[in-house]
Amino acid sequence: MDYLTWVLVNGLLGSVNFINNAFYIFCMVRPLHGEKIKQPLKLLLAFLICSTTTYQMSTFGAFFSEEKNENGKVAQISLLISVCCLSISLSSSVWLNFFYYTQIVPAQRALFVWIKKNIKPIIFCSMIFESIFSLLEFTVVLFDTNLIGFGFNETFSKYQTCHNISVTAFMQDPKDIYFILSCIQKLHFYLSFLVMMMSSGATVVYLCRNMRRMVANGQSLSCPRFGSQVRVTITGIIHGLLFLSLAIWREYAFISTWQSIFISPYIRATVINFYMSASTFSLGAGQAVFRQRLADVWTTAAQWYKALTVPPPDQGA
């Protein structure tokens, strides 16, 4: 994939995502009928939406600066920002799925009861930790750029020479530190993957059992609460499958790198953009505040269109 193809594909994705995210932010700031989103859901959505938007903007800035042969520091800083935002976006998806799980599945054990009672401070503290942990991603990619020059930022490896001294002057063997930080990074990613899969799987198992129980008791499956739980669960399943796909791609890209199989940085960025696009679209189906506002906008637009196309009645003589 060349630069022009990447711009055409990701430009369209980025434009649609930017419009969607702007709409989501508007819904959160001005919800329909004043129905505000409660915490910690509002925090998770804000982290997810803002980090996704910032990631896409910084990625475009990085590739544009590199393609135009501008100052290498601009491209490198944009790349580092995009990596931090990607880390926060993935973590937000994980904790959003976990929050859905705690709200749908009844608590049966003492630990889970405590988690449900304290879910708000747990989520707040977790997102603070994830934001700090994104600095580790920042450090790993900084080492990757200056020491190895492969992977997603292979395009930017031409700038490594002028920065090697400033990064490694205080270290005797920075590659060992890079290896340790990379292991911590991968451990965190797979722990997040485990939480995502377990929360999504447990929610699906509970709803299936609940559905069979309701059918056996002659209860209707069309009640609003059950329908809301199903929509949220479907959103969680989509996020889980997307996370699984990204994990598989990440391992493939990692193995390909060590086997000297070249994968274009444009392809790597496009894969992540598709992941974020699918995650962004799924939010609209999972959150009532977004669906209600969209339905209201659609109804208003239909009324305006009808008023413009239907001719006014003839005035009597």
Which tens digit of pLDDT belongs to each residue from 127-172?
Answer: 888 888 877 776 766 666 554 443 334 433 333 333 333 334 434 4
CB 175 within 8 A of CB 147: yes
How far apart CA 305 and CA 308 sit, in angstroms, is 5
Which residue did the predictor score with more confidence, 55 or 181? 55
DSSP state of 182: H
State yes or no: pLDDT of 69 exceeds 70: no
Peptide bond into 313 cis (omega under 30): no
As a whole number of angstroms, the distance between CA 201 and CA 95 comes to 14
Q: Which of 44-48, 67-71, 106-110 has the lowest mean pLDDT?
A: 67-71
- Distance from C-alpha of 281 to C-alpha of 235, rounded to nearest angstrom: 10
Q: Tens digit of pLDDT for each residue in 75-100?
A: 777 777 888 888 888 888 889 889 98
Q: Which residue has the tokens 């601009």?
A: 74
Angle, to 10 degrees, between the axis of helix 72-104 and the axis of helix 119-143?
A: 150
pLDDT of 71 over the 60 cut: no
Whole-number Å distance between alpha carbons of 75 and 298: 40
